Amino acid sequence: MTEFFKFDDALWQRVVALLEYDPLSPLTLTTGFFLFAFLIFGIGYLMVRGRATLRTLYVVLFSLYFYYKLSGIYVLLLLFVAASDFLIGRLVYGCRERGRRGRGWVALSVVINVAILTYFKATDFFVDVVNNLYGSGTLNWESVVVPAGVSFFVFQSIAYVVDISRGEIKPLNRLSSYLFLLSFFPKMFLGPLVKAKDFIPQIEADGVSVTKADVGRAVSLVAGGMVKYAVIAKALGLLFVAPAFAGELGDGGFVALMAIYGFTLQIYCDFSGYSDIAQGVALMLGFRLPDNFNAPYHSATITEFWRRWHVSLSTWLKEYLYISLGGNRRGSFRTYLNLFLTMLLGGLWHGVGMTFIAWGVLHGVALALHKIWMRIVPGAKALGGDMSPLRRTFATIFTFNLVAFGWLLFTAEDMSVVGDMLSRIANNFSTADIWATIEANGVAFGLMALGYLLHALPRRADEALRRGVERVGFVGQCVVMVVAIWLVMQCGMLLAAETGAAAGLPMYAAF
Amino acid sequence: MKSSDSTPRVVLLTLTVIVGVIALGFVPQFELFGMPIRSIDILSDLRDSAADEPVEYEADIERLEQELASMVVRDTVAVVDSLPVLPPVRYEWIEGEVRTEARVKPRSEMLRSVAESRSVAIENFDTLQVTRFDNLVEKLASGEDVRIAFMGDSFVEGDILTSDLRSELQRLFGGRGVGFVACDIPFKTVRRTVKRSSSGWSAYSVMKPKSVPENLSDKFFISGYLARGGAGATTTWSTTDAFPTLDSCTRARVLLYSRDTSTVELRINDTIPHSFVVAGDDRLRELYVEAQNIGSVGVKVVDGEILCYGVSLEGDSGVVVDNFSVRSNNGHAIFGTGAAINRQADDMLGYDLVVLQYGLNIMQKGQRGYTNYRKQLCNMITYAERCFPNAAILVLGVSDRWVKSDETGAYESIGSADALTSYQRAAADSTNVMFWNTYEAMRALGGMPQFVANGWAAGDHTHINFAGGRRIAKALVAAIVEPVYELLKEREEEQRRIEEQRQRVLEAQRRQQMQLELSLEATRGLLEGVDLASIDSLGQGGEEIATDTATIDDVESGEDGIEEVALNIESEK
């Protein structure tokens, strides 16, 4: 490097170009661009943080820019959803004031939001079906690109209107506050979904409170999340899981089995890692987001799994889908049916296709069966914590494999892939392959071992680690962050060189 | 709770982290447990290289098929209603009487020493009964015209390797001229096999698509460069005598695209100008000049606007080798070229062989896996096949390369050329095209250190020079010539065998005729000599007559045999 940096007109042009939306490099919390943007944003935030109105406006503007850098023109969709539900929320409240329930308005909000979701998620499927029935070219429709995180802000918005109609919250007075609730940049496109009841007071508070301990905790969340999301999940996925599913690593049973376990870890690290980063970044600004994951593979039953996995979504499904369907108040048969329907719709939400339906059915049936089991088997426990250690171990292994099988359905391109992977495990499993496979994929297996080991640690160890980061002080925290960023960048370059893949988005951004 | 507010701490932390990450960027690359630990650069997006960095093209087979399909449809329409009449594809100008050179009819004797020097053979993965390579070999063996497109990166820039490939093939199979030369290139290049001076053009590179106007983005030919010029834009190409077959030629073909009508002037040898009015059309066209001793060709836009690709300088028969080198291209630039333009150029020029020489730019020290590149290469091959449907495709493996060791500072093998080679071979195998192992050929010549020691490669242990290119070209020519030689030898052998058989048969015929005459003579003599005195020996004589009759039968059946042989000869012809 002869000259560290050249300041010229071209540099200015490059800066301007960087500020524009580029579909090839969407903005996420782990990009270098975000690091610089966060610094500039932070300086302004220092000045406005004490005044609720100004702060809200400032954060909303940055959040909208963030979403523009992520999804381009779809920022208008976000604005539309915000405006429509902000208005509907007020109308629903007006009805409640007059003693009516405003069901028509709630229905309108749901219809608008579900229509948006359906358009983005089901159009391709529908076009495919028509073209298969009536010959290709009957419907000439460009493939629909799902805007990143569309379902997260749509769900968030439905919840707001329903909460008002249920009388749990009052509608917000300012559109900017509602936009804040919907688009707060750390959580905007991957959750966690927040309860309006808990989050609105934070928006409206006079000042923000960030303690030294908060900063330490935020650093540990961000750094740990980055390693989980951008190192373990990305590398495991690109180096092993994707090629194994594509059949590039041979058709051995061991590879197939490890690909399924690999994906099980990958989706957890990808999703929970990014959620941790979001939580950490929000905390740095003084906002507390709820935990989204709680060591889900420690679950001893499928019921427990759904209390530990993607908690904000399962809560949402419970409160706005399961309860709306009648929950458990209409007799045991309807309870099972409602559980089943909730999970089926939850599956369908991920995408219209047989594999997602199968995934939803698997979980729906498993949850219903577990409810029946609880009723007919005396001494059956819902949570692992209540079981004897031996029983808990067996239950955990069983639940883990059930969930892993679910992930196979979830990630497989179609049902033939599911059959193929299972038949490879059943018919083509050779112990001779084991060592050769591990040797040939050393990095991936190393990461898988590390990932599962970290996940197996008890919560105490996790907390001890976090407190450690809180205690190392400012310099130590800087070092932790720099090391994490360095690791992410190394991993990114390694993956680019090995597989040619770019960084991309978290997996769940597609849903 | 203003007192407990640590927000400034957050901002300070972010700033410190940024400074820390930038500082870490000064740590050079090193290795840890055999894994390369690279230098990080968080400011990379702001650096010059980022803006200049060529866009990575992705293969879009669908677009390719669409472009090709629309081309075909257009032609059919033109034939069906024949209105409006399409402007011609070729505008000709025949200047004076052109003496055509005698076509070279190769004989195995001429090729033997070259063929026997072959070190690394071409691997043909084609599965057709008669492969496209067979067609090429057949054309070379029978002295027909052959055109080769050599697509590559900076390895062959300036006509390194290709100039010797061309010269050697033209020596053996005839042909003149340097082949294709671009009209204008957006940076300085030197080619010692041809001179070019140009002015007034806007030149574009397929590697910098951001700088290319949108309406030109599908107009690139595999040459990779495009020059747009209005009135006054001019380029002159002049031959050089760097190689014996290049000093002059008899044909010049300027390739251009003129959407609207334009007037273009050509001038050969700086003297005689000739004006063409090129009617507007959405196809590639050529201005074709035939003249004795063309030493220079000038093109000048007089009116309107054209896209000029370049000129092809050729003889009237034999081999033409076009050098299409595009700097820092991994081969993916072909996805950025226009399928229709490529196909139209193929219809015009008729390629028999397309060589793909890439890989030097993607090789990383110690990297052993190139799965992605293999897939990309397969797509490149598909593209080339669709654009040049009659051509055999030859993938050249990556060349040997050595890099400086971080610890010792001495050069050591990059340790990945053999790995990349195997991925390139796998791509050729799975797409049923041909492969030639450049790495092996260089190793047979001593490898990169020997190349540098001999002065055949630059000190960077990466780029060969003309001397090195000549060695590799000779090895490649030998690999191409060997099957031609074998074919010719076999044919000549066959010819000789047939000739010998004919001679043998004729000989036998002659002998039998003689015998027949002799025995007739003897019989006649015998019959004449019959008298009372020799009555005793009659029985004996009768037997002799019987024997002679048998001989006559033999001779008759022998004549049948000759006819049979003659028939065989006919059918073998």
Q: Are residues A195 and A234 in the same domain?
A: no
Furthest-apart CA atoms within chain B: distance in Å: 161
Res. B52: pLDDT tops 80:
no
d(CA A278, CA A296): 19
Res. A224: pLDDT tops 70:
yes
The predicted structure's pLDDT at residue B73: 57
To which H or E segment does residue A277 belong?
A: helix A253-284
CB contacts under 8 A, A 422-461 vs B, are 443
Report yes or no on A375 lying in a domain. no
Give chain A positions within 8 Å (CB) of B371. 243, 248, 499
Which of B2, B3, B11 would you mutate first to test chain A, the one with the most A CBs within 10 A?
Answer: B11
* Residue ranges, CATH 2.60.120.1360, chain B: 89-104+143-351
Report yes or no on A447 lying in a domain. yes
Report yes or no on A307 lying in a domain. no
- Identify the band that residue B95 occupies on the pLDDT scale cut at 50, 70 and 90: confident
d(CA B306, CA B287): 12
Which of B10, B26, B47, B62 would you mutate first to test chain A, the one with the most A CBs within 10 A?
Answer: B10
What's the Rg (C-alpha) of chain B? 34
Q: Are residues A250 and A125 in the same domain?
A: no
The predicted structure's pLDDT at residue B461: 85
Q: Are residues A224 and A195 in the same domain?
A: no
Contact A39 B15 (CB under 8 A): yes
Q: Are residues A217 and A190 in the same domain?
A: no
Q: How many CB atoms lie under 10 A from the CB of residue B94?
A: 10
Q: How many residues does chain B have?
A: 573
Which tops the pLDDT comparison, A111 or A353? Answer: A111
d(CA A323, CA B455): 82
Q: Are residues A52 and A196 in the same domain?
A: yes
Contact B35 A46 (CB under 8 A): no
d(CA B368, CA A440): 12
**Helical ranges in B350-416 per DSSP H:** 371-387
**Helical ranges in A380-430 per DSSP H:** 389-411, 415-427
d(CA B391, CA B150): 12
Question: Comparing A257-271, A377-391, B72-86, which segment has the lowest mean pLDDT?
Answer: B72-86
Structure tokens at B424: 């390139």
Report yes or no on A91 lying in a domain. yes
Highest mean pLDDT among A240-244, B217-221, B350-354: B350-354
Q: Are residues A198 and A258 in the same domain?
A: no
- Identify the band that residue A118 occupies on the pLDDT scale cut at 50, 70 and 90: confident
- Give, in order, the Cα–Cα distances in Å from A326 to each of A311, A345, A373, B19: 21, 15, 22, 56
- Identify the band that residue A145 occupies on the pLDDT scale cut at 50, 70 and 90: confident
What's the Rg (C-alpha) of chain A? 24
Q: Are residues A116 and A218 in the same domain?
A: no
d(CA A343, CA A365): 9
Give chain A positions within 8 Å (CB) of B12. 474
Q: Are residues A236 and A90 in the same domain?
A: no
For the structural domain made of B89-104+143-351, what CATH number should be given? 2.60.120.1360
User: What average pLDDT does this structure show over A275-285?
Assistant: 95
Give chain B positions within 8 Å (CB) of A5. 43, 46-47
User: What average pLDDT does this structure show over B525-539?
Assistant: 63
Res. B385: pLDDT tops 60:
yes
Cα angle: A255, vertex A257, A258; to 5 degrees: 65
d(CA A185, CA A180): 9
User: What average pLDDT does this structure show over B213-226?
Assistant: 89
List the single residue in A243, A248, A490 with the smallest CB-CB distance to B37. Answer: A490
Which tops the pLDDT comparison, A242 or A41? Answer: A41
Q: What percentage of residues in chain A have a pLDDT greater than 70?
A: 95
Whether the CB of A42 is below 8 Å from some CB of chain B: the reply is yes
pLDDT in tens, A417-464: 899 899 989 988 888 888 888 888 888 999 999 999 989 888 888 889
Residue B268, strand partner residues: B272, B297
The predicted structure's pLDDT at residue B130: 84
Among residues A204, A223, A247, the one where a domain terminates is A204
The amino acid present at B74, given as its one-letter code, is R
Torsion sign over Cα B240, B243, B248, B253 = negative
- Identify the band that residue B472 occupies on the pLDDT scale cut at 50, 70 and 90: very high
- Identify the band that residue B51 occupies on the pLDDT scale cut at 50, 70 and 90: very low
Contact B43 A219 (CB under 8 A): no
pLDDT in tens, B318-362: 999 999 998 878 888 899 899 999 999 999 999 999 999 998 888
Give chain A positions within 8 Å (CB) of B369. 498
Identify the domain containing residue A275 by its residue range. Answer: 212-300+387-499
- Tell me the HSE value of A258 on the side-chain side, using a 13 A CA sphere: 30
Q: Are residues A84 and A162 in the same domain?
A: yes
Q: What is the tally of structural domains in chain A?
A: 2
Q: Are residues A172 and A223 in the same domain?
A: no
Structure tokens at B274: 């000739």
Q: Are residues A136 and A229 in the same domain?
A: no
Among residues A204, A234, A266, the one where a domain terminates is A204
Give chain B positions within 8 Å (CB) of A50. 2
Q: Are residues A248 and A158 in the same domain?
A: no
d(CA B180, CA B314): 9
**How far from chain centre, in Å, is Cα B393?**
8
Average pLDDT over all residues of chain A:
88
Residue B196, strand partner residues: B237
Whether the CB of B504 is below 8 Å from some CB of chain A: the reply is no
Three-state DSSP state, B122: coil
Among residues A157, A179, A204, the one where a domain terminates is A204
Res. B292: pLDDT tops 60:
yes
Contact A46 B17 (CB under 8 A): no
Q: How many CB atoms lie under 10 A from the CB of residue A191?
A: 26
Contact B17 A485 (CB under 8 A): yes
The predicted structure's pLDDT at residue B50: 38
Enter the DSSP assignment of B399.
Answer: P
Contact B182, B355 (CB under 8 A): no
- Give, in order, the Cα–Cα distances in Å from B308 to each of A126, B256, B297: 47, 4, 14
pLDDT in tens, A282-294: 999 999 999 999 9
- For residue B338, the distance in angstroms to the closest alpha carbon of chain A comes to 23
Report yes or no on A172 lying in a domain. yes
